[in-house]
Amino acid sequence: MAKPKVLMVGKVNYAIEEWNALSDIAELEVCTSANRAEFIEDLKTKYNDVAAIYHNSVAITGQVDEEVLKNAPSTLKYICHHGAGYDKISIEPCTARGIKVANSPSSVDDATADVTMFLVLAALRNFNHGINTLRRGEWFNGVAIAHDPKDKVLGILGMGGIGRSLKKKAEAFGMTVQYHNRRPLSPELSGGAKYVSFDELLATSDVLSLNLPLNEKTHHIINAEAFDKMKDGIFIVNTARGAVMDEDALVQALASGKVANAGLDVFEAEPTIHPGLLANEKVMLLPHMGTYTVETRKDMEARVISNIRAGLETGKLINAVPEQAGMP
């Protein structure tokens, strides 16, 4: 009996042994499509019998949406995404076609929380301005005196795995943590962090960390109206997705002093950065480095492969996305 086919869209860099081992139950193929148009055409011809896709290249597929899926073969049952955020895969049309989707949630928690904590400290301590003046040979020229993290209130918007890891790191620096989710966590998961409403989170946090997924409901959840509800001089960090925050509104809030400093690892139109952010030394900028470690990337790759194996062997994914909970 022929083995089901698994299509790698992108590349495995670290979990090579795990990928090769998958050949015991599947025929492995690497996508050679150069762009979205070619990928869609290849789904109808070269890849017209694949059972699962390892998804790790938006540059090739673009948004995995209705257009892509209507050209996908009927044999396609699983799309396993390399990453915690899966906003580049449209879940509703996948579900309608009976295609199960997995992501790699817990793999990224600690590495992303490390970067988040770095940006929290950089924002509070005004490190970016200090670094830039030093490189210009202007020792301390115009660098405003900064703030300690101790006794500051850190508000976490979206306390999933990354947010919970961040909570532990922030408490080690003496910060008090509060959070807002769609619903409160159990006492075991919250670890004693105070649950507050969205408006209270904005109004009472000294530092706000964005750690929520991007979807239709969270797009620009931090906008001009939200900034108006915040403390004057708040510090904001975003390691989630760029589009959960309106960057135009952030630029204005920085200019007015509503936001004292910011730390950003994600942007609305990556790799293009808003010029108002590039020009502002109150903003520490990183090029989406949240998961950029050997250990984390290997774990992410291995988790995708484990999801594919589970799907092919049992019909169930280990890390099915929440929107498909209960899908048979």
Q: Give catalytic residues, as residue numbers.
A: 241, 270, 288
Say if residue 45 is exposed, middle or buried (CB neighbours under 10 Å; 0-12, 13-18, 19+).
exposed
In Å, how far are 224, 256, 259, 285, 301 from 249, measured between CA atoms? 5, 11, 10, 17, 36
What secondary structure does DSSP assign to 120-170, as a single string?
HHHHHHTHHHHHHHHHTT-TTTTPPP---STTPEEEEES-SHHHHHHHHHH
Residue with tokens 């795995």: 161
Amino acid letter for position 64? V
Q: Are 210 and 244 in contact (CB under 8 A)?
A: yes
Q: Determine the distance from the C-alpha atom of residue 163 to the mean position of all C-alpha atoms in its chain, rounded to a whole number.
A: 12
Helices (H) and strands (E) in the chain, counts: 14, 12
Spatial distance between the Cα atoms of 192 and 167, rounded to a whole number of angstroms: 10
Q: Do residues 259 and 277 touch, judged by C-beta distance below 8 A?
A: no
